[in-house]
Structure 1
Amino acid sequence: MVKSLRRWIEEDVKPFRDEPVRWLSEQHFFRDPLRPVHADPDVFLSPADGVILYQDFLDPDEPVVDIKGSPHTVREALRDDSYAERSLVIGIFMSFYDVHVNRVPYSGRLSYRELAPIDTFNRPMLDVEHELLEELRIPVGGSEYLRHNQRVVNRIDVGALHLSYYVLQIADYDVNRITPFVLGQQRAVLQGTRFSQIRFGSQVDLVIPLSGEHDLVPLCLPGQHVEAGVDALVRIDRRRPGEEQR
Structure 2
Amino acid sequence: MTIHKEGYTSIALTILFALILNALIEYYFADLAWLRWSVYVLSLALFLIVLQFFRNPKRTFTNGHNLVICPADGKVVVIEETEEGEYFKDKRLQVSIFMSPVNVHINRNPISGVVKFFKYHPGKYLAAWNPKSSTENERTTTVVEHANGTPVLFRQIAGALARRIVWYIKEGDHVTQAEQFGFIKFGSRVDIFLPVGTKVNLQLDQVVKGGITVLAELS
Q: Return the match for 2:216 from 210, 234, 240.
A: 234
| Match of residue 45 from structure 2 | 20
Deviation by residue 1:191-217 (Cα, 9 ceiling, x = unmatched): 11111101110000010124xxxx521
SS for the counterpart of 1:23 is helix
Alignment TM-score, normalising by the size of structure 1? 0.65
Q: CA deviation at 1:86?
A: 2.6
Residue among 170, 181, 186 paired with 1:184: 170
Q: CA deviation at 1:56?
A: 1.8
Q: 1:38 to 1:222 in 2, by over 3 A?
A: closer
1:41-77 Cα deviation digits (max 9, x unpaired): 131000110100010233x2xxxxxxxxxxxxx31xx
Q: Spell out the pairing of 1:1-246 with structure 2 (5 A cutoff).
A: 20-25=45-50, 27-58=51-82, 60=83, 74-75=84-85, 80=86, 83-110=88-115, 111-117=117-123, 121-125=124-128, 142-158=130-146, 160-181=147-168, 183-210=169-196, 216-236=198-218, 238=219
5+ long unaligned stretches in structure 1: 1-18, 61-73, 129-141, 239-246
> How far apart are 1:38 and its partner, in Å?
4.4
- Unaligned runs of 5+ residues in structure 2 are 1-43
Asked whether the equivalents of residues 157 and 188 of structure 2 are also in contact (C-alpha less than 8 Å), the reply is yes
Counterpart Cα distance in 2 of 1:101 and 1:22: 19
Cα pair 1:37 1:193 within 8 Å, conserved: no
Q: Give deviations 1:65-110, integer Å, cap 9, x for gaps.
A: xxxxxxxxx31xxxx2x63333211010000010000111110112
SS in structure 1 at match of 2:55: coil
Write the letter of the residue equivalent to 2:216: V
| Percent of residue pairs bearing the same amino acid type | 25
Aligned length: 175
- TM-score, normalisation: structure 2: 0.73
SS in 2 for 1:200: coil
Assess, with a 3 A threshold, how the Cα gap between structure 1 residues 84 and 52 changes in structure 2: closer, same or farther. same
* Amino acid across the alignment from 1:103: R
Q: Which residue of 2 aligns with 1:66?
A: none
How big is the shift at 1:165?
1.1
